[in-house]
Amino acid sequence: MSITPPIRRITAPQIRARKGGEPIVSLTSYHAHTAAIVDRYADFILVGDSLGMVMHGMDSTVGVPLDLMIMHGRAVVRGTSRALIVVDMPFGTYEESPNMAFRNAAKIMKETACGAVKLEGGARMAETIRFLSERGIPVMAHIGLTPQSVNTMGGFKVQGRDEAAWQVHIDDARAVAAAGAFALVVEGVVEDLADRITDAVDIPTIGIGASRRCDGQILVLEDMLGLNPRVPKFVKMYGDLGPAIERAVAEYAEEVKSRAFPGGENVYR
Ligand code: KIV
């Protein structure tokens, strides 16, 4: 018998059941201590591959390796006890075949103990989503502006400005929902298209730069805290921690240089 109490986390089916109900709160997190704070408020926490850009200074998410996702995923799981933890499958680890996707998704789930994975793509990923879901891996899909396709999209471009392209996105949403995805991130699409997508599927839509009518919202934590120098235009900043960090570092540097540690703080006695 185990002597530690079981952790009761929110599950993928519970998120799935929130379609049209109480809005789903989610944020990204990449490390244990911020995740512990987010855990008190979020229904799910995404260990997004945006960590390549936000934490590691990459130009896009294309270069993010699987091992890095696993390392950050483990930290976030360690720091949390309540929210569902979803880990992104990075570029090149799932597109080739359902078998490859299963191998890598299973590795992520075994090595991080997360509760679900996310992958980018609509109709073209439906077969893979079905393959994973039928084999015990809850999948969150991600359509609209899909950052791993930055090189074929020609940049991080808002989708659906031309109404003629809406049907492709709506079909993508329907395809991943029919394939068994438990939720769907809709990123960087015009508001009316996001609303049409939300109305078209029976799984929760999670908006980012999309519409307030999505079933939930997600933001990159560092963006909304003012800690990312490249914040997308649509993001409301709920904090401005960059200047606060700068002030603290500058004060520390000044005290070190002038040998002015106040009252012997920072010294073991
Ligand atoms: O990688 C990420 O942080 C994401 C969110 C922007 C949804 O995919």
Ligand 1 and 144: CB distance under 6 A: no
Reply yes or no on whether the pLDDT at 2 is more than 80.
no
Q: Is residue 245 part of a domain?
A: no
Q: Is residue 249 part of a domain?
A: no
**Residue of 228 and 223 predicted with greater confidence:** 223
- In 29-148 the beta strands, taken as DSSP E runs, fall at 44-47, 84-88, 116-120, 139-144
Reply yes or no on whether the pLDDT at 13 is more than 80.
yes
Burial tier of 18 (Cβ tally within 10 Å: 0-12, 13-18, 19+): middle
> What is the pLDDT at residue 101?
98
Ligand 1 and 210: CB distance under 6 A: no
Indicate which atom in ligand 1 lies nearest the CA of residue 120.
8
- Name the residue with tokens 């070190």: 256
Reply yes or no on whether the pLDDT at 108 is more than 80.
yes
Give φ, ψ of 211 to 5 degrees.
Answer: -155, 145
Q: Is residue 252 part of a domain?
A: no
Confidence of residue 95 (pLDDT cuts 50, 70, 90): very high
Does the active-site annotation cover 187? yes
Taking residue 254's Cβ as centre, other Cβ atoms within 10 Å add up to 10
> What is the pLDDT at residue 187?
98
Read off the pLDDT of each residue in 166-171 and give the average, rounded to a whole number.
98
Ligand 1 and 88: CB distance under 6 A: yes
> What is the pLDDT at residue 21?
98
User: 223 and 235 in contact (C-beta within 8 Å)?
Assistant: yes
Note the maximum CA span of the chain.
Answer: 71
Catalytic residue among 187, 246, 254, 265: 187
Kindly state the tokens that stand for 189: 């699409």
Residue bearing the CA closest to ligand 1, atom 8: 48
Confidence of residue 263 (pLDDT cuts 50, 70, 90): low
Domain count across the chain: 1
> What is the pLDDT at residue 259?
82
> What does the pLDDT look like over 234-253, one tens digit per residue?
999 999 999 999 999 999 99
Portion of the chain with pLDDT greater than 90, in percent: 90
Kindly state the tokens that stand for 258: 């002038």
User: 154 and 125 in contact (C-beta within 8 Å)?
Assistant: no
> What does the pLDDT look like over 15-45, one tens digit per residue?
999 999 999 999 999 999 999 999 999 999 9
Q: Rounded mean pLDDT of the chain?
A: 95
Lowest mean pLDDT among 7-11, 38-42, 201-205: 7-11
Rounded Cα–Cα distance for residues 25 and 10 (Å):
12
> What does the pLDDT look like over 46-80, one tens digit per residue?
999 999 999 999 999 999 999 999 999 999 999 99
> What is the pLDDT at residue 116?
98
Q: Is residue 174 part of a domain?
A: yes
Alpha carbon of 114 to ligand 1 centroid (Å): 16
Q: Is residue 157 part of a domain?
A: yes
- Alpha carbon distances (Å) from 266 to 9, 248, 258, 263: 39, 15, 15, 9
Domain ranges, residue 39 = 12-240
> What is the pLDDT at residue 183?
98
Q: Is residue 262 part of a domain?
A: no
Kindly state the tokens that stand for 42: 């979020």
Q: Is residue 82 part of a domain?
A: yes
Q: Is residue 266 part of a domain?
A: no
> What is the pLDDT at residue 195?
98
Q: Looking at residue 192, which CATH number applies to its domain?
A: 3.20.20.60
> What is the pLDDT at residue 5?
64
